Homo-oligomer: A and B are copies of this chain.
Amino acid sequence: MEHKKNDTKTKETSRIDAFSDGVFGIAITLLVLELIQILHSQPDSGLLKTILHNWQSFLAFTIGFITILVCWINHHAAFEYIKKVDTKLMWINGFLLFVVTLTPFPTAILAEYLEKESRTAVAIFGFNYILISIAADSICTYAYNHHLIEEEHREFYYSYKLIYRYAIFFTLVAFLLCLVSVVIPLILYTLLFVFFAAPKEFSSRLYKIRKARKNNVKK
């Protein structure tokens, strides 16, 4: 019976995984097109000069790449425990993919407006992070509430759900701080990367803290 459950899981989630992997992979690779554009824009100046002059494009490429990679790592971690997929989950996942697909656009904005209109550029990129957090939270909450996850990991998955709820508040605060500063949001977004670089480790730490607290309350 154990074996059969695994089989079903593979069948049920393999196509949503494959489609999502495709979208992540293409969105992350399309970022390079903005870099190639550089070469066509100033054909007369020297090569090294052209590259150094467009340092923001390389910074934006790196930020865009890490953003989508972090999304993929979190998607991978969230779907590892999901055993069933229904139409609604496909739509919520579709919303996440919508934001991931959009990501090359704010990345191109960063590349071109980081000097001219830094605050607006960072705010637009930050708005993207709010949407990603909402999408990630929706996936985990829906999967948790509708028992689409493996029963034995249900309690652990709750911490999972929590970290994306926190992410919404965190990205909202960072977004609002764009009104007053550019540096503070950038520090907060770096922290966000550090936290969600390893979502499994992050949520399992939270899980242990919550368990320890529960035990203390019992006593």
Please report A residues at the B interface, Cβ cutoff 8 Å.
Answer: 6-7, 10-11, 15-19, 21-37, 39-40, 43, 46-48, 51, 61-62, 65, 69, 72-73, 76, 87-88, 90-91, 94, 97-98, 101-102, 104-105, 108-109, 112-113, 116-117, 120-121, 124, 197-201
Contacts and interface: CB of A to CB of B under 8 A. Distances in A.
Q: Top 8 closest A-B pairs, CB basis?
A: A22-B25, A26-B29, A87-B198, A18-B21, A35-B105, A36-B108, A19-B21, A23-B25
Contact of A17 (B18, B37, B116): B18
A145 B39 CA distance: 41
Contact of A34 (B18, B36, B91, B117): B36
A contact face: mostly helix, strand, loop, or mixed:
helix
B32 A29 contact: no
Contact of A87 (B10, B23, B94, B197): B197
A23 B22 CA distance: 8
- This protein's copies in its complex: 4
Nearest to A198: B87
